[in-house]
A = this chain, B = another copy of it.
Amino acid sequence: MIHAKVHVTLKPDVMDPQGLAVKNALESLDYKTVSRVSIGKYFLVDFDSSDREAVEADLEKMCKQLLSNPVIENYRYQLEDGTQ
């Protein structure tokens, strides 16, 4: 079993209405020091495999293909061996 953690975030110059809204909401709740909020996605993907290399190759592909939209998003991931 291999666990992967994938972070998908918006590219810096893409409009992030959700992040903006959360920042405004925090401001109106009186959190004065918050200067920026951006919101991304966080995937936990479990693989039934112990072949780290194969998993990594798959992961790279699925990030490009499905988990992120390369037009507006970046991704990064970490792998962890699990036993669970």
Q: How far is the CB of A78 from chain B (nearest CB, A)?
A: 13
- Please determine whether B47 and A38 come into contact, CB atoms closer than 8 angstroms: no
- Please determine whether B48 and A9 come into contact, CB atoms closer than 8 angstroms: no
A43-B33 CB under 8 A given contacts A66-B22, A66-B25, A67-B22: no
Within 8 A of B (CB), among A54-68: 54-55, 58, 62, 65-67
Number of copies: 2
Total A residues in contact with B, Cβ cutoff 8 Å: 33
Mask for A41-84, Cβ within 8 A of B = 1, else 0?
Answer: 11111111100001100100010011100000000000000000
List 9 additional A-B contacts (Cβ < 8 Å) besides A38-B43, A39-B43.
A9-B42, A29-B66, A31-B62, A34-B45, A34-B47, A36-B45, A39-B41, A40-B42, A41-B41
